[in-house]
């Protein structure tokens, strides 16, 4: 039996005055990428210097103005990378780099040695404040833990005296979600006062969901409570750093923004310890999908994926929001039909807004190709097959033909799985446009004759029957009717044209037309479609009739 009784529920906070559920996200937060620190330390194979440089340049290209580049006091590799950025002059003037360091004097001193030559930096100090870690990790009481944080701020002030650049202090009460709110506020306020934060000299108070412990609404309550209780709120940039242990990092971040957070730390595609950091790409694309400027240059998600996978040796899952290979793909027949109709309706109405069922955004807007939107397998339906034929090849199949051709593809997909558009088109040729045996139309002579009662059309058709050349004649009230009557007499059959559709396939002087003939075998009641293609619409119609006869009788 699943031993759920080993676990106790994390308590929620009593905060009935919450306001965040009634708010909406209206603008992008301050973005801070921690790919080069938090993300890098979680890799099976941490990035080498040149891979870090490539990732750093990608983050710059995306528009990040705050980038945590590492923990320079933790190892020589981290130290050297920061020095590479400085000495190679890779840090733009409008970008602030961030460095992480524990509240220990020798580490803070080493950090400032690494920062020499940097014009503006965020020095991010932290210590764990949670009830559990105070007890089992540090064996210190509340006052002792608070003193560690305050002393860290004092050391930063001390060592920045010999630093030529500008320093912004960031403090994180690590394991904030497991810390009593009153105590988290007490420690943060103590650091705020030790730093001397003002409206002109702001401090970043970062409240991390270091381990996601409960539902996102509880984190939002915690953020709003802190936001409403800060002393001198105008001197604080309220930052969040959500992780994804419960799989709700995105929801936690979005609700925390509603609760008053100004800034978000996270990584591309959610890379990070355990289940990862909050995914900044998803957060940004979510805002984009609601008509909010994400203030990041994320028009080409394929480039993001390419650089990320190359540098981190990690793979983006096929169902990853926005970036996965399958996220703009519809296998379900009903979904495919709805997408088809949605795109057609939007184009016909010239809608200024993107409104297509099952596609929250236009894949083309983020650098994805639209062609792979619909994929056909055994779960697909008539709408999907028709969509492929229209989108990929320009054939607008009559509605009555959708199921007939879909059944052909369904039989194939049940044997082999997914059917590619190229194979669908080949089957269309084999079953319709190239269905030219055993009777194969070759040539027709059409004559219009006027009599006393009506206009009559006479046709003389040259064709082959099992390779033998033959000729038949027919008279009717138009070419199709004349061909029908001539075929009935020639082949000893009784047929009726139930429906006829045509449309142009291409534009220009070499335009071709497609003709669809729905034909009934009167004796058996069987029906089928035939399809003909030609630059001459009459010839396309004749080929369509021959195609249908071959399908019905041979």
Q: What is the DSSP letter of 275?
A: T
Residue 176 φ/ψ, nearest 5 degrees: -55, -40
d(CA 200, CA 463): 90
89-93 LR contacts (CB < 8 Å, sep 24+): 90/53, 90/56, 90/57, 91/118, 91/119, 92/60, 93/119
Q: Which residues of the chain are in CATH 3.30.160.270 domains?
A: 439-553
The predicted pLDDT at position 508 comes to: 63
d(CA 250, CA 191): 29
DSSP per-residue letters across 15-42: -TT--GGG----S--EEEE-IIIIIHHT
Closest CA to 167 of 112, 103, 208, 106: 112
280-287 LR contacts (CB < 8 Å, sep 24+): 280/31, 280/33, 281/322, 281/323, 282/250, 282/321, 282/322, 283/250, 283/253, 283/254, 284/28, 284/31, 285/321, 285/322, 285/361, 285/366, 286/250, 286/254, 287/25, 287/28
DSSP per-residue letters across 189-214: HHHHHHHT--SSS-EEEEEEESS--S
CB 69 within 8 A of CB 82: yes
Q: Which residues of the chain are in CATH 3.20.20.70 domains?
A: 28-297
d(CA 371, CA 335): 16
The predicted pLDDT at position 373 comes to: 56
Give the ranges where 63-141 is alpha helix by DSSP (H). Answer: 76-87, 105-115, 131-133
Q: What is the DSSP letter of 94?
A: T
The predicted pLDDT at position 372 comes to: 47
Total Cβ atoms within 10 A of residue 318: 11
Closest CA to 530 of 481, 503, 497: 497
Q: Which residues contact 365 (CB under 8 A, 6 or more apart)?
A: 288, 299, 354
CB 465 within 8 A of CB 438: yes
Total Cβ atoms within 10 A of residue 10: 11
Q: Which residues contact 289 (CB under 8 A, 6 or more apart)?
A: 360, 361
The predicted pLDDT at position 507 comes to: 64
Grouping H, G, I as helix, E, B as strand and the rest as coil, residue 356 is strand
> In the structure encoding, which two tokens stand for residue 375, read together?
């994929």
Closest CA to 391 of 377, 379, 373: 373
Grouping H, G, I as helix, E, B as strand and the rest as coil, residue 328 is coil
d(CA 10, CA 216): 12
Tell me the per-residue pLDDT of 470-483, one tens digit each, with 9 for 90 and over. Answer: 999 999 989 999 99
Grouping H, G, I as helix, E, B as strand and the rest as coil, residue 238 is strand
Regions in the chain scoring below 70 on pLDDT: 369-375, 450-455, 507-510
Residue 509 CA, distance from chain mean position: 40
Q: What is the 3-state secondary structure (H, E, C) of 286-327?
A: HHHHCCCCCCCCCCCHHHHHHHHHHHHCCCCCCCCCCCCCCC
d(CA 347, CA 339): 12
Grouping H, G, I as helix, E, B as strand and the rest as coil, residue 218 is helix
With vertex at residue 72, the alpha carbon angle to CA 67 and CA 78, rounded to the nearest 5 degrees, is 85
Beta strands in 466-512 (DSSP E): 468-476, 495-504
Q: Which residues contact 352 (CB under 8 A, 6 or more apart)?
A: none
With vertex at residue 67, the alpha carbon angle to CA 65 and CA 68, rounded to the nearest 5 degrees, is 155
Measured between its terminal Cα atoms, the distance across the chain in Å is 63
* Bond before 208 cis per omega within 30 degrees: no
Residue 273 CA, distance from chain mean position: 23
Give the ranges where 331-381 is alpha helix by DSSP (H). Answer: 333-349
Tell me the per-residue pLDDT of 172-207, one tens digit each, with 9 for 90 and over. Answer: 999 999 999 999 999 999 999 999 999 999 999 999
Rg (Cα) of the chain, in Å, rounded?
34
The predicted pLDDT at position 332 comes to: 76
User: Which residue in the block uniquely carries the two structure tokens 């006052």?
Assistant: 143
> Across-strand partners of 67?
33, 97
With vertex at residue 528, the alpha carbon angle to CA 527 and CA 533, rounded to the nearest 5 degrees, is 150
Say which CATH architecture domain 439-553 belongs to. 2-Layer Sandwich (3.30)
Give the CATH class of 28-297. Answer: alpha beta
> In the structure encoding, which two tokens stand for residue 225, read together?
């409570």
> Across-strand partners of 174?
128
């Amino acid at each position: 039996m699943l031993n759920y009784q080993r676990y106790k529920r994390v308590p929620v906070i009593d905060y009935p005055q919450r306001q965040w559920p009634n708010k909406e996200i209206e603008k992008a937060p301050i973005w801070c990428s921690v790919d080069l620190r938090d993300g890098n330390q979680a890799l099976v194979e941490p990035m080498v210097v040149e891979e870090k440089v490539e990732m750093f340049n990608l983050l710059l290209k995306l528009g990040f103005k705050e980038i945590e580049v590492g923990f320079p006091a933790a190892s020589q590799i981290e130290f050297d990378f920061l020095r590479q950025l400085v000495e190679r002059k890779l840090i733009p003037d409008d970008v602030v780099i961030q460095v992480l360091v524990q509240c220990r004097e020798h580490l803070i001193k080493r950090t400032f040695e690494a920062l020499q030559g940097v014009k503006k930096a965020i020095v991010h100090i932290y210590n764990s404040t949670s009830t559990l870690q105070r007890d089992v990790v540090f064996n210190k009481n509340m006052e002792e833990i608070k003193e560690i944080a305050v002393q860290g701020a004092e050391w930063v002030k001390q060592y920045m005296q010999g630093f030529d650049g500008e320093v912004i202090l960031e403090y994180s009460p690590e394991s904030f979600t497991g810390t009593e709110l009153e105590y988290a506020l007490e420690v943060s306020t103590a650091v705020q006062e030790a730093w001397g934060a003002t409206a002109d000299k702001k401090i970043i108070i970062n409240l991390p969901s270091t381990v996601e412990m409960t539902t996102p609404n509880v984190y939002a309550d915690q953020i709003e409570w802190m936001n409403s209780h800060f002393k001198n709120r105008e001197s604080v940039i309220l930052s969040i750093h959500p992780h994804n242990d419960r799989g709700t990092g995105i929801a936690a971040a979005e609700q925390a923004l509603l609760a008053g957070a100004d800034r978000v730390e996270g990584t591309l595609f959610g890379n990070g310890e355990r289940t990862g950091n909050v995914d900044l790409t998803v957060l940004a694309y979510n805002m984009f999908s609601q008509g909010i400027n994400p203030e990041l240059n994320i028009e080409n998600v394929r480039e993001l994926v390419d650089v990320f996978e190359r540098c981190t040796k990690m793979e983006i899952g096929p169902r990853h929001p926005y970036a996965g290979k399958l996220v703009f793909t519809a296998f379900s027949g009903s979904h495919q039909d709805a997408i088809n109709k949605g795109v057609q309706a939007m184009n016909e109405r010239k809608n200024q807004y993107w409104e297509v069922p099952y596609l929250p955004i236009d894949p083309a807007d983020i650098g994805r190709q639209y062609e792979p939107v619909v994929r056909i397998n055994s779960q697909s339906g008539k709408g999907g097959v028709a969509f492929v034929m229209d989108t990929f090849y320009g054939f607008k199949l009559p509605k009555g033909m959708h199921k007939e051709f879909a059944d052909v593809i369904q039989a194939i997909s049940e044997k082999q799985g997914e059917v590619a558009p190229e194979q669908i088109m080949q089957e269309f040729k084999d079953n319709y446009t190239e269905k030219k045996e055993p009777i194969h139309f070759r040539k027709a002579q059409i004559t219009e004759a006027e009599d006393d009662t009506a206009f009559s059309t006479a046709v003389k058709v040259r064709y082959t029957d099992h390779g033998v050349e033959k000729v038949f004649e027919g008279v009717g009230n138009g070419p199709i009717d004349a061909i029908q009557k001539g075929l009935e007499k020639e082949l000893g059959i009784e047929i009726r044209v139930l429906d006829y559709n045509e449309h142009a396939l291409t534009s220009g002087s070499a335009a071709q037309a497609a003709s669809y003939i729905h034909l009934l075998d009167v004796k058996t009641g069987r029906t089928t479609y035939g399809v003909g293609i030609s630059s001459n619409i009459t010839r396309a119609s004749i080929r369509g009739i021959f195609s249908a006869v071959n399908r019905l009788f041979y």
